[in-house]
Amino acid sequence: MRDCHGIRSLIRCLLELHIDDPQLVRLAAAAVLTREKGLGWSTEEMESVRQELKQLEGAWRRFLSGPAAEKSVERLAALHLAFREMEEAVLKSVPIPSLEELILRVARIQLGGSFSCLEDVEAAVLWPRGGGLSAIAEDALSTCLSSSKLGVG
């Protein structure tokens, strides 16, 4: 398994996505398609989607096995994680999560935190614990950042 730094780079890839990214729409359609795989028929486009999903899964496997991944592999691996969350929603017959919820779910699973908003995820990715700051310094930095968001100080 990759270290936490590697996982943070994947989450950064997800944070760079836009809500109207056509690839997210395509992945959501693919999640629905995977539920319908037992229909017994297939089109060329369905086969193309299956190949794309295999490519995403392959990128995830390469990401896990290597010490450092290229940015393109990281992006595809990140999309694989987003797809898995979409697929799970479809299998549970619940709405496909929004981009924000996808990122929160991936961050919770991969980083093990209890994130409640994107700002929490961004803070964990951009200002990771164990980055050389003492607990007191981290608390002070957190207080400063919170105060500036609230317009205090």
DSSP string for 105-135: HHHHHHH-----SHHHHHHHHHS-TTSS--H
User: Which whole-number Å values give the CA distances from 33 to 17, 45, 100, 124, in the listed order?
Assistant: 22, 11, 23, 34
* Per-residue model confidence (pLDDT) at position 27: 94
* Per-residue model confidence (pLDDT) at position 42: 72
Mean pLDDT, 10 residues at a time, the chain of 153 residues: 72 93 92 72 81 94 81 92 95 94 94 90 78 49 53 49
What is this structure's pTM? Answer: 0.77
